[in-house]
Structure 1
Amino acid sequence: MRTLNKTLNGSRALALLMALMAPVAPLTVARAAPAQPAASAVPADVASGARLQLRWELQRNEFAAQGPGARTQARLILTNRDTRPLPPQGWSLYFNSMDGVTPGALPGNLVLEQVAGSYFRVRPDANFAGLAPGQTLDIVYYHPDIVIKLGKAPVGPYLVYDAAPDVGVAIKDYALLPVTRPEQTDKGNTGHRPLVTPADTYRANLHADTLPASAVPPVFPTPLKLEQGAGTLAVKALPAIAAPAALRNEAALARSLFPADLPAGGPPLRLSVGQVAGQDSPEAYTLAVRSTGIDIVGNSAAGVSYGLQTLRDLLPLPSAADLALPEVSITDAPRFGYRGFMLDVSRNFQNKETVFKWLDLMARFKMNKFHFHLTEDEGWRLEIAGLPELTSIGAVRGHSAKPGVRLQPAYGSGPDPQDPHGSGYYSRADYIAILRYAAARHIEVIPELEMPGHARAAVQAMEARYHRLKAAGSKEAAKYLLNDFADKSVYKSPQLYTDHVLNPGLESSYTFVEHVVDEVVKLHRAAGVPLHTLYMGGDELPNGAWEGSPAAHAMMQKHKLATTADLWDYFYDRVDGMLRKRGLFMSGWEEIAARKTMLAGRHKLIPNPRFTQRGFSAYVWNNTEGAEDLAYRLANAGYDIVLAPVTKMYMDMAYNPNPEEPGVNWGDYIELDTVYDFIPFDYLKNASDAQRLGKDGLTDYGKGKVRGLEATIFTETLREPASVEYLVMPRLLAVAERAWAADPAWATEADKTKAAALHRTAWSGFVNALGGRVLPRLDLDGVDVAYRIAPPGLLVEGGRVLVNHVLPGFTLRYTTDGSDPTSASRPVTGPIAERGVIKVAAFDRKGRAGLVARVEHVEHVEDD
C-alpha cells in the first residue's frame, strides 16, 4: 500500500484554513468607522461583485535552469454568477497578497498593478471583451517566489467600478483550491523542506513514551523542588480561605479553583506573604498540602498567585468523581524574571475580551509580561488624546478612492471600513481596563509604539491632520508631521512599502513622539498601574530610508552626523532622553542595541557601543543567516536581552511545510518539540561544527544580561481569535516551561548518548502532562481555547496501520470508508487491521476533532 504524500485530508485542511481566514459579522469597535457610500451608486446594468465567484489555484512551481531560483504560476478563476455582464472597461479587482505578486500585462488583455505595499488590482486593458453572465475568466499571473504556504494567496478580494470609485463590493464567494498535485508541491532544487507524511509524523511521535498516570509530572511548569507525601487531602467541602486584605485578588482566585456548589466547612486554605527560604525572587512561593490543610506563602502577592496556579494543577480534573489533593511540599521560583508573550493587534485587530482571555492564559501558566504590539504600518490601535486622526484614520482600513480618508485594505480586511479586524482600536477606557485586568494577575503590560519603520499608519494619519489643518489656515498644521514631502529616498520594506518611515530630520517627529509618550504615561497613571518601560520599536528600517530626505540631511549637517546610521543613533538618543526624563527605560527590537555596518560587502549588525550603559532592553528575534549569535554578542557587550528567536519563539510560523497548514514560513517551521528543545544559554549546542564556527557563546557576564524569553504572534495571516489560538497553543506551553523551569538535565549533559536518554524521559513527561492533564483541564474548565490538535501519525507495517499521537491522552478515532472521523467513530485501541481508506483524528475532552491523517490500506500491498 502507498501512504499519501500529505499529512492532512485536503478538503478538511482547506476548510480549516478558510475558516481561519474567513470574515465574520462586524463587531462594535471603540468608535464607529466611517460608513461606505451606498452600494446603489454602482451602475445598475453591470455585474455586482457580490454575485461574482472567485477561486484561487496554485497551478505549478517553476524553477530556474541554474541555481535555486523559483516562482509560482497561479490563477484567479473569476465566474460571473450575475445576470448582468462584467463590462469590457471601467472596473478593477482589488486584493492583498502577502509578499507580493509580479505586476504587468497578463494574458487575456488584463493588467496587474501594485497599488501600494501588498495591495494590488487587476483591471482590463483596451482589448478586453468583458465577461458575460455564466462565463469564467482565468486570470493567470506569477508570484515572484515559490509559494509554500497558502497564506501567500490573495485575500480580501473586491470589485470597484470607475463610475463609483468609492464603492468596493466584497467578493464573498471566494475559496482556495487544494494543493495536492505533484507540479503544485514540487520544490525542485530550492532546498525547501519536503511535505510531512503521516509516516513522518508517526516516526517523530516515537521519540516519547506513553506514561502511566503515576509517572506523569504532577505540576506544570516544572517546579524548583517538589516532595510528595504518602497521603491525600480529601476536599468534600469548600476550603475555608484565610488571607489578608492585601491578597483579596488571590483569595478570589482560590475560591474559583473549587466547585461553587460545594458546602462550606472544608479544610483551611491559608494564603500569606512571607520570606521563602533561600529564594530572592519576588515570585517565589511555597505550597504545602497536608492532611490538616493547605498553606501557600509567597515572597509577594505574585508568588502567592503562582502557588495557587500550582494548586490548580494538583487538583483532579473537573470530570473526576472525587476531589482530593496529594500531600505535597513545593518550593518554587522562576528561572527568568521575564516570561513574555507578544500579541500583534495591529495587522489584524483583536477586541478587549480577546486580550483578557490571553491575560488569563498567561497567568495560568505563570507568564508575567504582556508585550502589546499596538502600532504598525497597517493600524494604530490606541486612542491618544489630542491626536484623533491616529484612530479615525490610522485605526480604520477600507476602500477609498481618495487619500487621507482611511488606510488601505490589508491582510484580508477588504473594502468595508467596519471590518472588525481591519478596523478597531482601544479607547482610553479600554486600555485602562486592560492594564487593571493584567495587574490583578501580576502581569506587566509593555505597550509598543513601533518606529521609525513600520509606522505607516501614524505617518498617514499625521499627514491627513496636516492637510486638514493647513486647509483651515492653522499655524500648527505641521506640528506633528512625520514625513518630509521632499524626501526622494528609494527603499522598500519587507512588506513592500516605500512610504512608511518616520523621519528623524523633522522636529515635528520628536514633538509627536513626546506627545504620545506623555499620553501613554497618563493612561497608566489613571489606571493606577506603574509604567516602567515603553517599547519603542526599531524593527526593520529598510536600507535607503532617509538617504534622499533634505530634512534628514539638514539634521545630519546641524549635528555633524556623517551617515544615516549616525542619524539613527541621534534619533534614539533623543527618544531615550524623553523616556529617562519620565523615569522610564527603553525597550525595543534588537536594532536599538545594534549598529549597521558592512562586512565583505554584506550588511551586518554589531553591538552599538553608544548605548551599552543606558539600560536598553533589546528583544532579539534574528538568529538566522549569520546572526545566529547576535543575542549573545549583544548581551556580552552589556545590553539587557530578551530572547525571542524567530526559529524557536515566533508562534506565527507554521508547524510544518504542508501548504494547507496555517501560518507563515519566512523564518522556519516550528513544531512543539522545536520550542521545547530551546536551550536559552546555549541554543547552538546541537548545531553542526560548521554552523558554530566563528559564532560567539554567552559569557558569564552575558548570562547575567539575559532577562528572559518571549513568545511572539504576528497576525498577518490571522483574523479570528481561534486562528491565533491554533498557532499559539500548545506551543506557548513549551515557552512557559523554558522560561520558568531550570535547564533540564539533557540540556547540560555533554555525553550525547546520555543526553538523548535524558531528553526522552523529560519530553515524555512533558507531552504526557499536556495530553493527559494540562490541555484537558482547559477543555473541562470551559476556557474554550481552540488549541491545535495535531494529526495522528500513521504507519502501515505488517499488514496493519499503526497509530500514535504527539500528545498521549487524546482519544483517537477512525473510519475506513474515507469519511472524516466524528466523536461517534470507533476508537483506536491498537493497530488497525481493516482495509480501505483509513482516516484517523484525535479528539479533545469536549469532542472537538483535530486534524485528520489518511492512508490507503490495500490488500497485499505494504509500503509506508
Structure 2
Amino acid sequence: MERLLKNKTIYGSCALALLLLAAPLTEAIAATPAASQVSGYASGAKLTLRWELQRNLFSAAGIRAQTRFILTNQDKLPLPAQGWSLYFNCMDGVESGTLPSKLILEQVAGSLFRLRPAPDFAGLAPGQTLEIAYYHPDMIIKMAKAPVGPYLVYDAVPDQGVAITDFEWLPVTRPEQLDKGNSGAKPVVTPQDTYLRNTQATLLPAAEVPPVLPTPLQLHPGSGTLVLKAQPAISAPAALGREAALARSLFPAGLAAAGGPVLKLAVGKVEGQASPEAYSLTVRADSGISIVGNSAAGVFYGLETLRDLLPLPGAAELSVREVSIVDAPRFGYRGFQLDVARNFHTKQTVFKWLDLMARYKLNKFHFHLTEDEGWRLQINGLPELTAIGAVRGHSDKPGVRLQPAYGSGPDPADPHGSGYYTRADYIEILRYAAARHIEVIPELEMPGHARAAVQAMEARYHRLKSAGDKDAAKYLLNDFDDRSVYKSPQLYNDHVLNPGLESSFTFIEQVVKEVVALHREAGVPLHTIHMGGDELPNGAWEKSPAAHATMQRLKLETTADLWDYFYDRVDTILHKHGLFTSGWEELAARKTMLNGRHKLIPNPRFTQRGFSAYVWNNTEGAEDFAYRLANAGYDIVLAPVTKMYLDMSYNPNPDEPGVNWGAYIELDSVYNFMPLDYLKEASEANRVGKDALTDYGKRRVRGLEATLFTETVRDPRRIDYLVMPRLLAVAERAWAPDPAWATEPDADKAAALRRIGWTGFVNALSQRVLPRLDLEHADIDYRIAPPGLMLDGDRVLANHLLPGITMRYTSDGSAPTATSPLVSGPIMEHGVIQVAAFDRNGRRGNVARIERP
C-alpha cells in the first residue's frame, strides 16, 4: 500500500513505563527528563549539519547515490573523539559500514540510523568542519529519501538526545546531481515542458464556465435570474434542522433580515433516481429555490450545489440564474483516506478536511489510525497502546516509547511524532462527520504494519510479568522464539502480529469491541472496520514455533493457509459485532508461485464473505488486479497508486514535495482516470493478457478513494499542497458520470472531447472553485503550480495550469511579489525572467524561471 518506510524499536525503561501507563500523554511526556549537555563537550544545539546529493552512480552492479553530510562545530567546545552518536531517519535506508571520515554508519532499526566514531576518529574541534561521505543503495530523485530529524546523543547520558536544529538539504540543481543515466527515470520538468502541457486548455468566458463541480447528472439552465436582496425564508421540516442551518450559512449576514425568496428543503422522491443521495434543485425567479432529496444527504448535497451557483463573495449583486438540476452520484463510495499514524494531525485538521469532503460530495472518511510508527486511538483496557504506542522519541532502553521516525527527533513532545485521539476526541470527530453525511471508517492495520501495537503489548507483558501477574501474556502479539527472516518495505523485521498466538485474537477482539462502543456512544452507526492486510513481508511466521504449532494443529500446509486462518478469525470477530470486513487488496488475495515468482490471485475462500477490498496496486503487472478481484466476486474500492495516491509528487523535480515510488501524479493524471476502463490508457503491450471488467464485475465496484499517507507530511500545510486541487478531480470522477471522451471509441474524437472537458474543468477551478475558497478564507493553501514559460523569438510567453489566474513577473532575478508587474501578454524584457501565479488573497505559488539574453 505505501511502499515507503516506517521505523523500528521502541525505547525506554520498564520502571518509567509504569508511570506512563497511569498518566495521559501530556504527563508521560512531562515525565521525560529534559535533554542536558555533557560538561566540556559540544552541544548538539550548536552543531550545523548540511546534506548534499552529489550524484547518482550507474554501473553494471546497479545504481547507488553518492551523498555527504557536512558537519560543522559552531560551539566553543570540541566534539570528542569517542562517546557520541548522531542519529537520523532515512527513508529506504543507507549503506552501512566504516566511512572514510572514520565514522561508522549503522542501522539502529527500521529507518533509524546513526553515525558514531570509529576507534581512530580524532574529534571535531571548535570551528572545524567534517565531510562525511556515504552512499544510498538506490537512485535519489526526490528529497523524500534524504535524511531527516538528526540529533546528538552522548554515551554518558544515553537517554537524552539533543536535536540538531541547524540542518538543511543543499539544492539539487547541478547537471551531475540531476543525471539519471540510462535508468529510464523521467527527466526534470522544465518551464517549457509546463508551457506545452498547459496548452491543453484555454481561458473560457465566464458564461461558458461549468457552473457546478462535481458535474451534475442533468442541468437545464433557465433564462431568468433570481435576485436575493434579503435573507431567504427557509422552509424545512424539523428532521432537516442541520440542513436548514447549512442553508442559512450560505448567505451573507449583510442581507436584509426578511423579504427574501423562499428556500424550500424537503425529503421526497427524486424522479428516476434510486440513490439515497440523489436530489433535485430548481431556481425560479418567481418562486424561489426548492431542493428535494431522496434523503437528508441528498438535500445536503443539493445545498452544496446551491453554494456553487451563488456568486463569489464580494459580488456587487447576489443573484442566481434560473436552473433545474437532477443529480445523483455515480458511486456510492467516494472516499478520502488520511493517515494520522505516521505523522499525527490534530482533530482540528481532521475537521477541516471533513468540511472540504462534504463541500465536494465525498462521503467516506477512511481514518488510518494505526501503523508501525504510531497508535492514535485511546482504547479502554489497553493504556499501553497510547502511553507507549502513541509516543515517539529517543530513549536508551526498550519499553517506554517508540523510536523517532520521519524526522520526529528525540523529543517525545514533538506534536507529529507523538499524539492520539482520546475517546472524547474520536466521538467528536464521529459526530462532526455524521452531521456532514460522512461515514468514518476506522482502520486498524494488521498483521503487518503493526509495530506500535506489537511493541506496546510486549512492554505490557514485561511490566505485568515482573509484577507477578499470571495473565501477563493475555494480549501479547509476538512470539519471542520467532526466528523468521523478513524485511518490510519500511525496513522492519519485528512488526507483525502472530496468528499462532491466541492472545493476538484476544487483542483484536478487545480493540474491535471498544471501537464499536465508541460509535455506539457517539450515536453514529458503524458498518465496517478496515482491518489492514497489506504488505505482509515474505518470510513472516515461517520460523515461528507458535505459528508452526497452530499450523500443525489445524493441518495447514503453508503460511498462506495461516493467512486465511487469520482473516477467517478476524472476520468472525467483526461479524459478531454486526460488521463486515474491509481491508487492503491482499486481504482478498492468495499468495502463490508462478514460474518461481510470488504472485497474488483472487482468494476463492472469501468471495462469499462480504469482504470489501481496497485495491491500491495497479503497477508492475498488477494493472488489472482490481478487475480480477471484482470479476471473482469481491466488492472493491479503487484506490490505484498511479491515480489516487495524493502523497505522490506532482513531478520528478527534486524541489517538488512528495514521494515517487508509485508514480508522478499531476492534476490531469487524476482527471484522466477512467474507473471502469482504466486499461484503455495502457499501451497495447501492457494490455496483453490483462482482464477487463465483466458486467458482473462492474457491479462489484463500490467506488473510488483518494489516499494520503504522511511519511513526508508533518506540516498541515503540506496536506493542503498535496491534496488540493487534486482532490477536486477525485470528486469529479467519483460523482459525475463518465465524460463523453471516456466512452468515445474514436481516438481523435476522444482527444478533442477530452480537451473540451479538461478546459471546462480547469476553468471551473480557476474562475469559481478555488477563488471561492480564497475569498471565504477557508484556510486551504492549495498548490499554485508554477507557470509555463517559453522563449518565442524575442519574447517570453507565459501560461498556467489554471487559465485566467493572476500572474506577475520580474526581470532582475528576484522572486515576484504581489506588487510586481502583471503578466498581460508576452514578456518583452531581457534578463532572468521569473514568473509566479497568485491567489485572490495575494498568496504566491511556485516560481518559474527562464533566461532571456
TM range (shorter): over 0.9
Question: Is the contact made by 1:37 and 1:167 (CA closer than 8 Å) also made in structure 2?
Answer: no
For residue 43 of structure 1, report the CA deviation from its aligned partner.
1.6
Q: Which amino acid aligns with 2:611?
A: F
* Equivalent of residue 222 in structure 1, options 215, 221, 229: 215
Query: Pairwise mapping of residues 345-360 of structure 1 onto structure 2 (< 5 A)?
Result: 345-360=340-355
Aligned to 2:845: 850
* Equivalent of residue 252 in structure 2, options 256, 259, 277: 259
Aligned to 1:388: 383
For residue 209 of structure 1, report the CA deviation from its aligned partner.
1.6
Aligned to 1:567: 562
Aligned to 1:792: 787
* Equivalent of residue 285 in structure 1, options 279, 282, 285: 279
For residue 264 of structure 1, report the CA deviation from its aligned partner.
1.3
User: 2-side partners of 1:507 and 1:310: how far apart?
Assistant: 52
* Equivalent of residue 827 in structure 1, options 818, 822, 826: 822
* Equivalent of residue 817 in structure 1, options 812, 815, 833: 812
* Equivalent of residue 685 in structure 2, options 684, 690, 702: 690
User: 1-side partners of 2:283 and 2:42: how far apart?
Assistant: 71
Question: Is the contact made by 1:377 and 1:455 (CA closer than 8 Å) also made in structure 2?
Answer: yes
Query: Pairwise mapping of residues 466-477 of structure 1 onto structure 2 (< 5 A)?
Result: 466-477=461-472
Aligned to 2:653: 658
* Equivalent of residue 169 in structure 1, options 159, 162, 167: 162
CA distance 1:599–1:248, change in 2 (3 Å) = same
CA distance 1:141–1:727, change in 2 (3 Å) = same
Aligned to 1:20: none
For residue 34 of structure 1, report the CA deviation from its aligned partner.
2.3
User: 1-side partners of 2:105 and 2:477: how far apart?
Assistant: 31
CA distance 1:394–1:105, change in 2 (3 Å) = same
Give the 3-state SS of the residue equivalent to 2:766 in structure 1: helix
Give the 3-state SS of the residue equivalent to 2:458 in structure 1: helix
Question: Is the contact made by 2:532 and 2:583 (CA closer than 8 Å) also made in structure 1?
Answer: yes
In angstroms, what is the RMSD of aligned CA positions? Answer: 1.0
Aligned to 1:93: 86
Aligned to 1:14: none
Aligned to 2:310: 315
For residue 108 of structure 1, report the CA deviation from its aligned partner.
1.6
User: 2-side partners of 1:92 and 1:591: how far apart?
Assistant: 40
User: 2-side partners of 1:424 and 1:36: how far apart?
Assistant: 15
Q: Which amino acid aligns with 1:168?
A: G
* Equivalent of residue 405 in structure 2, options 406, 410, 432: 410
Query: Pairwise mapping of residues 40-79 of structure 1 onto structure 2 (< 5 A)?
Result: 41-65=36-60, 69-79=62-72
Task: Could you tell me which runs of 5 or more consecutive residues in structure 1 were left unpaired when the two chains were aligned.
Answer: 1-27, 859-864
User: 2-side partners of 1:842 and 1:649: how far apart?
Assistant: 26
Aligned to 1:707: 702
User: 1-side partners of 2:100 and 2:321: how far apart?
Assistant: 71
User: 1-side partners of 2:684 and 2:289: how far apart?
Assistant: 51
Q: Which amino acid aligns with 2:388?
A: I
Question: Is the contact made by 1:32 and 1:418 (CA closer than 8 Å) also made in structure 2?
Answer: no
For residue 686 of structure 1, report the CA deviation from its aligned partner.
2.1
Q: Which amino acid aligns with 2:167?
A: Y
For residue 581 of structure 1, report the CA deviation from its aligned partner.
1.2
Compute the TM-score of the two structures, normalised by the length of structure 2: 0.96
Aligned to 2:15: none
Give the 3-state SS of the residue equivalent to 2:305 in structure 1: helix
User: 2-side partners of 1:160 and 1:109: how far apart?
Assistant: 18
CA distance 1:844–1:40, change in 2 (3 Å) = closer
Question: Is the contact made by 1:149 and 1:657 (CA closer than 8 Å) also made in structure 2?
Answer: yes
For residue 41 of structure 1, report the CA deviation from its aligned partner.
4.2
Give the 3-state SS of the residue equivalent to 1:812 in structure 2: strand
Aligned to 1:737: 732
Question: Is the contact made by 1:37 and 1:166 (CA closer than 8 Å) also made in structure 2?
Answer: no
User: 2-side partners of 1:521 and 1:686: how far apart?
Assistant: 42
Aligned to 1:249: 242
Runs of 4+ aligned residues of structure 1 deviating over 2 Å after TM superposition are 28-42
Question: Is the contact made by 1:97 and 1:120 (CA closer than 8 Å) also made in structure 2?
Answer: yes
Aligned to 1:497: 492
Q: Which amino acid aligns with 1:267?
A: P
Question: Is the contact made by 2:201 and 2:803 (CA closer than 8 Å) also made in structure 1?
Answer: no
Aligned to 1:131: 124
Question: Is the contact made by 1:33 and 1:418 (CA closer than 8 Å) also made in structure 2?
Answer: no
Q: Which amino acid aligns with 2:268?
A: G
Aligned to 1:531: 526
Q: Which amino acid aligns with 1:640?
A: D
Question: Is the contact made by 2:25 and 2:387 (CA closer than 8 Å) also made in structure 1?
Answer: no
CA distance 1:30–1:782, change in 2 (3 Å) = farther
* Equivalent of residue 110 in structure 2, options 91, 98, 117: 117
Q: Which amino acid aligns with 2:604?
A: P
Question: Is the contact made by 2:35 and 2:162 (CA closer than 8 Å) also made in structure 1?
Answer: no
User: 1-side partners of 2:381 and 2:132: how far apart?
Assistant: 47
Give the 3-state SS of the residue equivalent to 2:248 in structure 1: helix
Question: Is the contact made by 1:36 and 1:167 (CA closer than 8 Å) also made in structure 2?
Answer: no
Q: Does 1:272 find its partner at 2:266?
A: yes
Question: Is the contact made by 1:349 and 1:425 (CA closer than 8 Å) also made in structure 2?
Answer: yes
Give the 3-state SS of the residue equivalent to 1:468 in structure 2: helix
User: 1-side partners of 2:771 and 2:779: how far apart?
Assistant: 11
How many residues get paired?
A: 829
For residue 210 of structure 1, report the CA deviation from its aligned partner.
1.2
User: 2-side partners of 1:420 and 1:630: how far apart?
Assistant: 38
User: 1-side partners of 2:655 and 2:473: how far apart?
Assistant: 48
User: 2-side partners of 1:368 and 1:809: how far apart?
Assistant: 31
* Equivalent of residue 198 in structure 1, options 191, 197, 212: 191
Question: Is the contact made by 1:30 and 1:426 (CA closer than 8 Å) also made in structure 2?
Answer: no
Query: Pairwise mapping of residues 181-196 of structure 1 onto structure 2 (< 5 A)?
Result: 181-196=174-189
For residue 809 of structure 1, report the CA deviation from its aligned partner.
2.7
Give the 3-state SS of the residue equivalent to 2:308 in structure 1: helix
User: 1-side partners of 2:527 and 2:153: how far apart?
Assistant: 48
Aligned to 1:104: 97
Query: Pairwise mapping of residues 231-630 of structure 1 onto structure 2 (< 5 A)?
Result: 231-265=224-258, 266-291=260-285, 292-630=287-625
Give the 3-state SS of the residue equivalent to 2:402 in structure 1: coil
User: 2-side partners of 1:810 and 1:604: how far apart?
Assistant: 48
For residue 35 of structure 1, report the CA deviation from its aligned partner.
3.4
User: 1-side partners of 2:568 and 2:748: how far apart?
Assistant: 50
For residue 88 of structure 1, report the CA deviation from its aligned partner.
0.3
Task: Could you tell me which runs of 5 or more consecutive residues in structure 2 were left unpaired when the two chains were aligned.
Answer: 1-22
User: 1-side partners of 2:540 and 2:723: how far apart?
Assistant: 34
For residue 539 of structure 1, report the CA deviation from its aligned partner.
0.7
User: 1-side partners of 2:35 and 2:806: how far apart?
Assistant: 53
User: 2-side partners of 1:494 and 1:508: how far apart?
Assistant: 26
For residue 744 of structure 1, report the CA deviation from its aligned partner.
0.2
* Equivalent of residue 81 in structure 1, options 49, 74, 77: 74
Compute the TM-score of the two structures, normalised by the length of structure 1: 0.95
Aligned to 1:637: 632
User: 1-side partners of 2:684 and 2:728: how far apart?
Assistant: 31
